[in-house]
Amino acid sequence: MTYQQTIDYLFEQLPMFQQIGEKAFRKDVTNTLQLAQLMGNPHLTYPSIHIAGTNGKGSTAHGLSTILQAHGLKVGLYTSPHYRDFRERIKINGEYVTEQFIVDFVAQYKEAWQSISPSFFEITVVMAFLYFAKEKVDVAVIETGLGGRYDSTNIITPFLSVITNISYDHQQILGNTLPKIASSKAGIIKPKVPVVIGERQEEVESVFLEAAQEAQSPICFANEHYRAVPLVSNFTHTVFDIYCDGKLKYAALNANLTGNYQQYNIQTILQAVDWIPPHICQIEEEKLRYALENLKALSNFIGRWEYISTSPRIICDSAHNEAGIQLSMQQLEQLTYRKLHLVIGFVKDKKLSQVLPFLPKNALYYFAKADLPRGLKADSLKYQALLYGLSGNSYASVTLALEAAKQKAQPDDLIYVGGSIFVVAEVI
């Protein structure tokens, strides 16, 4: 098969959460264990960091991998979902997995895995693990896909676990309370493996403390030690003063990240860095600063509070749940513009009652359906948005919606594109 035929096979033949939702999710890692065994358990051949959480997983994963890379290590990075190119999921030092490896991988194993009946995600996880092993990475940074305990990535035993924060998302799978969601994500805590929690949240802190105690794992909450204070930002970078335990540790740290919420991710990244064992990497401030200042170029990181135009300003952002949308809308309120235009779309299983109340009523809306089966129809979104005082027109595609916004917007207006990773994927 050609590369395109191989990708089509993966998308069409295997159950895929991105396309069909919870039907593709299995509360069991047996398939992944069987697939890994089939390939010689590649995940056991290199040390790893495991990252879970509701928001900030991708930023934290890219930040940690880039810092390790800047210290001369060969770093594998597995994240999901992808935006435009399947290969975004599997990278080594910012370089995508080769097309040839994917073709050869599927050709070699597709008959053997028929009896296992794996999902799309299970296949991509073991594909990443095998690629990292064959390329002999020094360390891998592995982001969970959904939840933690039953996530396919949870067959690894890392040297460090990181859980960014907890908010409402995927309740139909993870549970409809924050403690239930936290319990799922706490499932990545392994016996005697240190765990960094990004934020101490009163409603869920006991879940993590109890899980860590049971596993005899050292635990800390990043925001109790680190405080990132934003000083100034532009279209590409934010400068922070970083305090650790009340003392200035990194003055004017220039990070290639934008969006106010990144201050929480920076805190988590820096706390996690402190807990990287010296035998893995001895952190040097100069290299850490270089990594964060050049994060996107070094890691191919996209889609988070990303400016794709300056006249009018167009911001794409992947915030898609209650906490993420709330933070993004708060930041929009801090910007200056003549008129705000929102190109918005969601997936069908999103609880709109948890996100629509945070959207501004004084904006012009362009409702769109993301180009995937799980995409919520634009007319349905338009109708439900009206119940919250949000008015605008519906469009057959995200591209058409953005084009309409650009035609209507004046140079000093602001266009925000978001609501779903899959909406952003169509315009970046």
The pLDDT tens digits for 308-329 are: 998 899 999 988 788 889 989 9
Model pTM? 0.93
Whole-angstrom distance, CA of residue 163 vs CA of residue 146: 12
- Res 271: pLDDT: 98
Confidence of residue 20 (pLDDT cuts 50, 70, 90): very low
DSSP, residue by residue, 84-138: S-GGGGEEETTEEPPHHHHHHHHHHHTTGGGGT---HHHHHHHHHHHHHHHTT-S
Q: What is the mean pLDDT of the chain?
A: 92
Q: Which domains does the chain have, with CATH numbers?
A: 3-225+260-292 (3.40.1190.10), 306-425 (3.90.190.20)
Mean pLDDT, to the nearest integer, of 365-387?
93
Strands 340-344 and 414-418 come out as parallel
pLDDT in tens, 386-399: 999 999 999 999 99
Each residue of 26-64: pLDDT tens digit? 678 999 999 999 999 999 999 999 999 988 999 999 999
**On the CB side of 205, how many CA atoms lie within 13 Å of its CA?**
11
